[in-house]
Amino acid sequence: MKTSISIVWHIEDVKSADGEDTDLTDTECCEVLARAEYGHDANYGINWDVLQCYIDQVKNERSV
Q: What is the pLDDT of residue 13?
A: 97
pLDDT in tens, the chain (64 residues): 999 999 999 999 999 999 988 999 999 999 999 999 999 999 999 999 999 999 999 999 997 7
pLDDT score of 63 = 74
> Does any domain span residue 47?
yes
Cα–Cα nearest to 37, from 12, 62, 10: 10
In the chain, which ranges are continuous DSSP H helix?
11-18, 26-39, 48-61
For residue 24, being part of any structural domain is answered with yes
Assigned domain for 53 exists: yes
Confidence (pLDDT) at 44: 93
Contact 20, 5 (CB under 8 A): no
How many domains does one find in the chain? 1
